[in-house]
């Protein structure tokens, strides 16, 4: 009888039960042997080789009389036997013959019953000694792999890796085998062989998308992208470092679909938008999170070298974990951590040069045109008002000379010659020379990092120094970051991070081209800024030359304005110091359950000092204006002589805490659940104050505190005008308090069906009402299906195919109103009494804005990854938007200049969009060529808004003001219908009440919105990029081309009034209508007849006519990046492990512009100077 051989292993806890079983088995066997022995007692002698069992059975039957009973097929898998025995018992023979056969036997009387050999099911091998093991799972590049499932083979015991790729399993046989599975990676089995700490590297499943290996950081957890149902975009470190910039956000432009950076005129609406606008009056900026917490400081403080990657959360499922602040999308910036067990030191250094901007992009009236125009206007008497005005209005040099010529103080011929000579000057030459320079930006960073059994550390220092293209502008930044995780026990981890940033931005008084004096004058086209020797010249843009040269007969301060000297006479210095501390504890309670406690402290102090030196025009002008002439001509100075110092201080202090439980468990091979739940508290306090000090003397660090702020003084410069001395003092304090609860779960079945759900409740101190009305619950749900894993899925074309759908709500906060009557305090400037202004009437029904988003996504990959990508479609509905609703003015809620409305949840918007990202491997041999194509479509429109349409269409002409119209985007461009120039006079013509009209005032004020032209959106609805990367050996070249389509902008606004009264303007003047017939070739109106009757209205009508709205569509060569990489294994003698040299060129201009005038919409606003190429050289070394 076969007997399981008990293995004599000591110390076995279950030995008692085993013993019982063994006795029972023994007794049973003895009984059966007895029975057998009763019938036959003969022995067998047999000798044969290679005999089938049948033959042996026959021999046994012959010699002993035992009958064999078995099913025939049982012998199918048996082997022939060699046997040579003499006088052996039946049992001995059978035992020998069946030893290695899949057969068992029983002897029942004279029958031998053959059966399949039974597995020893009931009897387990004695358990091995159990132990707790920990480990780490990484991808093939050593990056931690979160969400991988680890199972002990043959048991239900197991765990899932956390965001650091780590896991712990309690109670494992030290010889057990672990099965490690991850949705995106090959399954691997590992035998422990007594090890208690293992590291497993998983290989990416060949068939799957590159992106699936990515884990996305939601700020609350890291989830493998392939398991995420929502819409995430990930920008990895390589992509993040593709561009050279001081500011981190600059680096994500044109790299990911759905994120729009507006440029040119559109940048005045929103600089950055994720998936279009879904609010009207509230902030439309995305929430920015660094690691785990919203970043409250100045974003330009973040050193990009310390950052690992960026994740953009776009739909409800992705972002709803951020609740009431996620309505505009969320940008998560993840900092660098230690990766390798050996200390890795990395050095990155780059220098960027930027050429002076191109001032000749400015379409400026030529000096000769302008001087001729001045002569004409002078002869018409246009300047008479200014010449005789008591307020010493300034005149240009030409007009000054013309006056002198008229009154004979300069001989006529000489005056004419001087005037003619001025025609040769072009202000842009000297502006470019004295006000602009080659911009040089330096960036240096060094870091050391590592990841050992006990500590994960990162330490980085960065230094930036930028010299702008404008003379006098400089920016310096130092950042120090340290982030360490101490693995105290296998269950307990402690994280401590410190970050210190200090930056100083210095600006001289250099407005560059765009100077506009407080008398409303620009630099005239022939302005000279310096004499031949380069000495600064004064310019008379504020007061009349003759007056300002002699005023006060030497008693006043010099009242001249020298633009070049002014650059250094006013220094504006912004100093920002930002300190961040974060601390965290992670404690593992069970394999599947851990708890995180996190705390984040941020303190940003910024000091802005505007120092107007005693020599600055600002100080001199203010002092002179307040100077009083007393009895006997004695002067007194209410504003003391000296400099003026404006101080603005602000401080942001935030404390944020979080307690979070993480649960992750797998059952069998099919079920996996990952969930988090947490509580968060957040307090952000912003303090600010400003002050102005007079009589500032930096050498002595002294000021003059004896200022009379109450007396009203007549102004020396402007007869009749009076003013008090400005105190410029204010103080403010703002507090944001939030308490939030959140939970999020994802369930994966059979690693192909994924369901996710998320809910969050936010409460804030926003509305000043009862606590139970402060909160807003927001939720989302999503599903994802990895279609290619199905058995029925046979497509060889798409080895990877995933479908996703999510739905849910994000919120948005508007601080524009409150549920209770609130009032803001101030001080009356007249009586000095404290005054309270009612900000809003009570509105108890106030709610937070809500954005519902449904998102469909498909991710796919062609065979061999030739093409991979994803397509997403979304639909948004924003409700409860804060908006104005008109009310009866009798209620008393009117504004100072009209409009009686209250703010409430009265508006709605909807929007939809498509985002496509395609990656292709065009060549993948020794030469590699990859292409990435991005396309985004995003449109939104107002669907509900209660304010009535203004009866004047002109209300809607502003491209940046918010005047919502139902059915249109928040920022929409409207214009007047254009009827062409009057062939007889060259006057612009429009329509009024359907008829051709030159009643410009009437057109401007009485054209209804439905009679105006809707040109289209100000923000581009179609945009994207095409990026080609070619790798040849160690070289890599990447070229990015971007495009923006389907939007409009208003071209440079030609205006006669601007040219006449501001002394400069559009060069379109040269194209003006001058004689009948010109209307066929130009749209620029004729010079109006003098005296001007309707000058401003005529200009305005023309500026806002449809012909001046141009298509913004453009394709541009964004940048080129070239790099050379050298690895130690390629050059063993190299002292570094890796070296990278890179060249980066940006601002390369447009490839195509849709509008006929070929005006680049990025620079047209004010027709300003065009930025030119930026070239960076860099070096990256790691040890």
Partner 1 sequence: MKKYIYKHRLIAIVLIIFYGCKKSSFLETRPDDSLVVPTSLKDLQAILDNDAIMNGNASGVGLMPNSGEISYNSYYVNDANFGGVLTPLEQKLYKWDKQPFTGEPNILDWDLPYRSVFYSNVVLDGLKKITPEASQQSEFNNIYYSALFYRAHIFYQLAQIFAPVYASETASTDWGIPLRLTADVNEEIRRSTVAETYSKIIEDLKSCAGELTTNPLYKTRPSKQAACALLARVYLSMRNYDSAFVYADKSLQLYNKLVDYNILMVTNTNFPFLNIRFNDEVIFHCLLRECLPLRLGAAIVDNTIYNSYNNNDLRKADKNNDLLKGAFYRFISNTYSFRGSYYGSVQLFSGLATDELYLIRAECFARKNSTSQALSDLNALLIKRWRNTVQYTQVTATDAADALNKILEERKRELMFRGLFWTDLRRLNKEGRNISFTRTVLGQTYTLPPNDLRYTFPIPDNVINFNPGMPQNPRQ
Distances (CA, A) of 1076 to 221, 981, 1079, 1088: 72, 10, 7, 15
Instruction: Give the shortest CB-737-to-partner 1 separation in angstroms.
Output: 5
Out of 349, 689, 835, 943, which residue is the one contacting partner 1 (CB under 8 A)? 835
**Segment contacting partner 1 by CB under 8 A, of 23-31, 262-270, 459-467, 653-661:** 653-661
Q: What residues numbered 965-1024 form the site for partner 1, per CB under 8 A?
A: 1005
Task: Kindly tell me the burial class for residue 615, based on how many C-beta atoms sit within 10 Å of its own C-beta (0-12, 13-18, 19 or more).
Answer: middle
* 766 lies in the binding site for partner 1 (CB under 8 A): yes
**Segment contacting partner 1 by CB under 8 A, of 64-72, 91-99, 271-279, 827-835:** 827-835
Give the angle subtended at the CA of 463 by the CAs of 460 and 466, to the nearest 5°.
150
* 20 lies in the binding site for partner 1 (CB under 8 A): no
B/e letters for 806-815, b = 16+ CB within 10 Å, e = fewer, are: bbbbbbbbbe
Strands (DSSP E) contained in 697-729 are 713-714, 722-723
Instruction: Give the shortest CB-685-to-partner 1 separation in angstroms.
Output: 9
* 344 lies in the binding site for partner 1 (CB under 8 A): no
Q: What residues numbered 682-701 form the site for partner 1, per CB under 8 A?
A: 683
* 833 lies in the binding site for partner 1 (CB under 8 A): yes
> Can you spell out the DSSP letters for 300-363?
GGS-GGGEEEEEEE-SHHHHGGGGGG-TT-EEEEEE----SSS-EEEEEEEEEEEPPPBGGGS-
Q: What residues numbered 930-959 form the site for partner 1, per CB under 8 A?
A: 950-951
- CA dist., res. 1013 & res. 974, Å (int): 5
* 76 lies in the binding site for partner 1 (CB under 8 A): no
Residue closer to partner 1 by CB (options 832, 1166) is: 832
Token couple for 475: 């920016």
Distances (CA, A) of 225 to 219, 636, 676, 744, 937: 14, 73, 17, 15, 23
Residue closer to partner 1 by CB (options 296, 763) is: 763
* 722 lies in the binding site for partner 1 (CB under 8 A): yes
Residue closer to partner 1 by CB (options 612, 848) is: 848
* 4 lies in the binding site for partner 1 (CB under 8 A): no
Question: In degrees rounded to 5, what are phi and psi of residue 795?
Answer: -60, 120
Out of 719, 777, 961, 1076, which residue is the one contacting partner 1 (CB under 8 A)? 719
Out of 386, 595, 783, 1115, which residue is the one contacting partner 1 (CB under 8 A)? 595
Tell me the site size for partner 1, rule CB under 8 A.
Answer: 69
Q: What residues numbered 233-272 form the site for partner 1, per CB under 8 A?
A: none
* 385 lies in the binding site for partner 1 (CB under 8 A): no
Out of 822, 875, 920, 1028, which residue is the one contacting partner 1 (CB under 8 A)? 822
User: Per-residue x/- marks for partner 1, 900-929, CB under 8 A?
Assistant: x-x---------------------------
- Report the SS3 class of residue 27: helix
- CA dist., res. 697 & res. 702, Å (int): 5
* 823 lies in the binding site for partner 1 (CB under 8 A): yes
Q: How long, in residues, is the chain? A: 1183
Out of 546, 657, 980, 1067, which residue is the one contacting partner 1 (CB under 8 A)? 657
* 763 lies in the binding site for partner 1 (CB under 8 A): yes
User: Per-residue x/- marks for partner 1, 788-817, CB under 8 A?
Assistant: ---------------------------x--
Residue closer to partner 1 by CB (options 126, 714) is: 714
Out of 23, 380, 629, 836, which residue is the one contacting partner 1 (CB under 8 A)? 836
Distances (CA, A) of 1064 to 373, 423, 742, 744, 1139: 11, 14, 59, 61, 53
Instruction: Give the shortest CB-900-to-partner 1 separation in angstroms.
Output: 6
* 834 lies in the binding site for partner 1 (CB under 8 A): yes
Residue closer to partner 1 by CB (options 58, 836) is: 836
* 838 lies in the binding site for partner 1 (CB under 8 A): yes
Instruction: Give the shortest CB-950-to-partner 1 separation in angstroms.
Output: 7
Structure letter (DSSP) for residue 1167: G
Chain centroid, CA 1026 distance in Å: 20
**Segment contacting partner 1 by CB under 8 A, of 99-107, 415-423, 767-775, 799-807:** 767-775
* 681 lies in the binding site for partner 1 (CB under 8 A): yes
Q: How far apart are the first and last CA of the chain?
A: 69
Of 237, 261, 232, whose CA–CA distance to 321 is shortest? Answer: 232
- CA dist., res. 361 & res. 364, Å (int): 9
Task: Kindly tell me the burial class for residue 457, based on how many C-beta atoms sit within 10 Å of its own C-beta (0-12, 13-18, 19 or more).
Answer: middle
> Can you spell out the DSSP letters for 471-509?
TTEEEEEEEEEEEEEEE-SSSEEEEEEEEEEEEEEEEES
Token couple for 635: 């002067």
Question: Edge-to-edge, what's the strand order for the sheet holding 307-313?
Answer: 232-235, 307-313, 330-335, 287-290, 293-294
Out of 701, 824, 995, 1129, which residue is the one contacting partner 1 (CB under 8 A)? 824
- CA dist., res. 372 & res. 423, Å (int): 9
Token couple for 683: 């307090």
* 1089 lies in the binding site for partner 1 (CB under 8 A): no
* H-assigned helices in 148-301: 237-240
- CA dist., res. 328 & res. 313, Å (int): 9
Residue closer to partner 1 by CB (options 355, 816) is: 816
Out of 114, 146, 764, 942, which residue is the one contacting partner 1 (CB under 8 A)? 764
Instruction: Give the shortest CB-738-to-partner 1 separation in angstroms.
Output: 9
Q: Tell me if 970 sits within 8 A of 1018, measured CB to CB.
A: no
Residue closer to partner 1 by CB (options 595, 854) is: 595
Number of other CB atoms surrounding residue 292 within 10 Å: 23
Residue closer to partner 1 by CB (options 750, 951) is: 951
- Report the SS3 class of residue 786: strand
* 765 lies in the binding site for partner 1 (CB under 8 A): yes
* 587 lies in the binding site for partner 1 (CB under 8 A): yes
* 899 lies in the binding site for partner 1 (CB under 8 A): yes
* 839 lies in the binding site for partner 1 (CB under 8 A): yes
**Segment contacting partner 1 by CB under 8 A, of 294-302, 636-644, 786-794, 895-903:** 895-903
* 411 lies in the binding site for partner 1 (CB under 8 A): no
- Report the SS3 class of residue 771: helix
* 520 lies in the binding site for partner 1 (CB under 8 A): no
* 389 lies in the binding site for partner 1 (CB under 8 A): no
Out of 712, 792, 926, 984, which residue is the one contacting partner 1 (CB under 8 A)? 712
Instruction: Give the shortest CB-855-to-partner 1 separation in angstroms.
Output: 32
Strands 671-696 and 643-667: antiparallel
* 734 lies in the binding site for partner 1 (CB under 8 A): yes
Out of 170, 537, 659, 1120, which residue is the one contacting partner 1 (CB under 8 A)? 659
**Segment contacting partner 1 by CB under 8 A, of 106-114, 456-464, 759-767, 789-797:** 759-767
Residue closer to partner 1 by CB (options 901, 1014) is: 901
* 390 lies in the binding site for partner 1 (CB under 8 A): yes
Distances (CA, A) of 1055 to 1065, 1098, 1104: 7, 9, 11
Contacts with partner 1, residue ranges (CB under 8 A): 390, 587, 589, 595, 597, 657, 659, 661, 679, 681, 683, 712, 714, 719-720, 722, 732-737, 739, 763-766, 768, 771, 774, 815, 818, 820-826, 828, 830-831, 833-839, 841-842, 886-894, 896-900, 902, 950-951, 1005
């Amino acid at each position: 009888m076969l007997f399981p051989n008990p293995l004599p292993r000591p110390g076995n806890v279950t030995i008692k039960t085993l013993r019982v079983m063994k006795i029972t088995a023994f007794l049973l066997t003895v009984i059966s042997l007895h029975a057998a022995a009763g019938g036959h007692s003969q022995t067998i002698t047999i000798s044969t080789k290679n005999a089938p069992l049948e033959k042996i059975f026959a021999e046994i039957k012959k010699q002993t009389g035992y009958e064999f009973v078995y099913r025939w097929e049982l012998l199918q898998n048996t082997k022939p036997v060699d046997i040579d025995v003499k006088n052996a018992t039946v049992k001995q023979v059978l035992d020998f013959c069946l030893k290695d056969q899949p057969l068992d036997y029983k002897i029942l009387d004279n029958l031998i019953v053959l059966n399949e050999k039974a597995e020893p099911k009931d009897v387990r091998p004695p358990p091995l000694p159990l132990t707790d093991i920990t480990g780490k799972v990484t991808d093939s590049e050593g990056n931690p792999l979160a969400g991988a499932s680890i199972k002990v083979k043959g048991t239900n015991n197991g765990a899932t890796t956390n965001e650091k790729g780590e896991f712990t399993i309690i109670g494992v046989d030290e010889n057990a085998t672990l099965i490690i599975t991850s949705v995106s990676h090959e399954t691997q089995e590992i035998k422990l062989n007594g090890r208690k700490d293992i590291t497993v590297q998983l290989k990416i499943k060949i068939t799957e998308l590159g992106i699936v290996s990515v884990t996305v950081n939601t700020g609350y957890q890291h989830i493998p992208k392939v398991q995420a149902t929502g819409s995430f975009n990930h920008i990895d470190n390589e992509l993040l470092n593709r561009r050279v910039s001081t500011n981190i956000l600059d680096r994500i432009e044109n790299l990911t679909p759905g994120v729009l950076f507006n440029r040119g005129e559109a940048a005045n609406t929103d600089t950055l938008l994720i998936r279009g606008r879904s609010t009207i009056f509230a902030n439309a900026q995305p929430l920015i999170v660094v690691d785990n917490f919203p970043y409250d400081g100045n974003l330009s403080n973040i050193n990009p070298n310390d950052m690992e990657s960026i994740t953009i959360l776009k739909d409800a499922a992705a972002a709803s974990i951020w609740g009431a602040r996620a309505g505009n999308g969320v940008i998560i910036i993840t900092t660098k951590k230690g990766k390798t067990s050996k200390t890795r030191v990395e050095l990155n250094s780059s220098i960027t040069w930027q050429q002076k901007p191109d001032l000749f992009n400015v379409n400026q009236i030529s000096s000769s045109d302008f001087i001729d125009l001045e002569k004409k206007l002078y002869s018409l008497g246009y300047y008479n008002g200014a010449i005789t005005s008591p307020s010493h209005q300034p005149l240009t040099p030409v007009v000054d000379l013309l006056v002198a010529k008229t009154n004979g103080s300069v001989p006529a011929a000489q005056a004419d010659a001087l005037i003619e000579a001025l025609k040769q000057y072009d202000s842009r030459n000297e502006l470019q020379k004295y006000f602009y320079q080659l911009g040089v930006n330096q960036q240096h960073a060094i870091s050391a990092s590592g990841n050992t059994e006990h500590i994960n550390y990162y330490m980085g220092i960065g230094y930036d120094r930028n010299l702008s293209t404008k003379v006098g502008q400089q920016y310096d930044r130092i950042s120090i970051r340290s982030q360490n995780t101490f693995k105290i026990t296998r269950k307990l981890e402690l994280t401590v991070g410190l970050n210190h940033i200090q930056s100083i931005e210095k600006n001289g008084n250099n407005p560059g081209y765009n100077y506009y004096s407080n008398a409303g004058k620009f630099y005239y086209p022939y302005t000279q800024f310096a004499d031949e020797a380069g000495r600064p010249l004064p310019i008379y843009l504020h007061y009349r030359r003759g007056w300002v040269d002699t005023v006060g007969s030497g008693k006043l301060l010099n009242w001249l304005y020298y633009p070049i000297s002014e650059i250094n006479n006013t220094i504006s210095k912004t100093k920002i110091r930002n300190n961040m501390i974060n601390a965290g504890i992670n404690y593992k309670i069970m394999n599947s359950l851990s708890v995180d406690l996190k705390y984040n402290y941020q303190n940003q102090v910024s000091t802005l000092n505007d120092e107007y030196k005693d020599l600055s025009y600002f100080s001199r002008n203010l002092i002179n204006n307040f100077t009083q002439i007393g009895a006997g001509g004695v002067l007194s100075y209410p504003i003391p002589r000296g400099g003026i110092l404006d101080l603005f201080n602000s401080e942001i202090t935030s404390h944020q805490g979080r307690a979070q439980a993480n649960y992750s468990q797998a059952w069998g091979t099919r079920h996996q659940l990952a969930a988090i739940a947490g509580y968060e508290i957040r307090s952000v306090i912003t303090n600010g104050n400003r002050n102005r000090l007079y009589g500032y003397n930096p050498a002595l660090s002294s000021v003059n505190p004896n200022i009379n702020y109450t007396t009203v003084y007549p102004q020396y410069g402007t007869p009749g005008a009076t003013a008090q001395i400005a105190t410029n003092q204010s103080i403010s304090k703002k507090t944001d308090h939030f308490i939030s609860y959140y939970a999020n779960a994802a369930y994966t079945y059979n690693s192909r069906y994924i369901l996710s759900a998320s809910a969050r409740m936010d409460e804030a101190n926003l509305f000043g009402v009862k606590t139970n009305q402060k909160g807003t619950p927001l939720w989302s749900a999503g599903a994802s299906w990895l279609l290619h894993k199905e058995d029925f899925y046979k497509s060889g074309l798409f080895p990877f195919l995933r479908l996703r759908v999510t739905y849910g709500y994000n919120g948005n906060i508007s601080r524009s109103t409150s549920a209770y009557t609130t009032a803001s305090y101030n001080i009356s400037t007249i009586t000095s009494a404290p005054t309270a202004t009612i900000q809003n009437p009570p509105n108890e029904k106030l709610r937070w804005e809500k954005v519902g988003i449904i998102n469909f996504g498909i991710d796919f990959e062609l065979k061999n990854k030739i093409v991979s990508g994803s397509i997403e479609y979304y639909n948004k509905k924003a409700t409860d938007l804060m908006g104005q609703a008109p009310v009866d003015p009798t209620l008393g809620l009117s504004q100072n200049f009209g409009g009686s409305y209250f703010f409430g949840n009265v508006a709605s918007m909807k929007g939809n969009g498509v985002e496509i990202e395609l990656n292709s491997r065009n060549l993948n041999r020794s030469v590699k060529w990859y292409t990435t194509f991005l396309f985004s479509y995003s449109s939104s429109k107002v669907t509900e808004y209660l304010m009535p349409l203004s009866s004047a269409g002109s209300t809607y002409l502003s491209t940046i003001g918010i005047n919502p119209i139902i059915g249109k985007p928040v920022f929409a461009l409207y214009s007047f219908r254009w009827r062409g120039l009057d062939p007889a006079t060259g006057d612009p013509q429009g329509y009024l009440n359907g008829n051709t009209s030159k009643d410009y005032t009437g057109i401007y004020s009485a054209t209804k919105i439905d009679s105006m032209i809707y040109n289209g959106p100000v923000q581009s609805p179609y945009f994207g990029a095409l990026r080609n990367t070619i790798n040849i050996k160690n070289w890599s070249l990447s070229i990015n081309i971007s495009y923006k389509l389907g939007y409009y902008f208003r071209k440079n606004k030609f205006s006669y009034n601007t040219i006449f009264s501001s002394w400069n303007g559009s060069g379109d003047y040269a194209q003006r209508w001058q004689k009948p017939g010109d209307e066929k070739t130009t749209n620029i109106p004729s010079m109006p007849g003098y005296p001007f009757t309707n000058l401003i209205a005529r200009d305005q009508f023309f500026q806002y006519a449809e012909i001046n709205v141009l298509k913004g569509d453009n394709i541009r060569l964004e940048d080129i990046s070239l790099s050379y990489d050298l690895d130690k294994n390629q050059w063993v003698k190299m002292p570094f492990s890796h070296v990278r040299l890179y060249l980066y060129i940006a601002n390369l201009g447009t490839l195509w512009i849709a509008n006929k005038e070929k005006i680049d919409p990025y620079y047209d606003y004010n027709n300003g100077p065009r930025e030119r190429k930026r070239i960076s050289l860099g070096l990256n070394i790691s040890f």
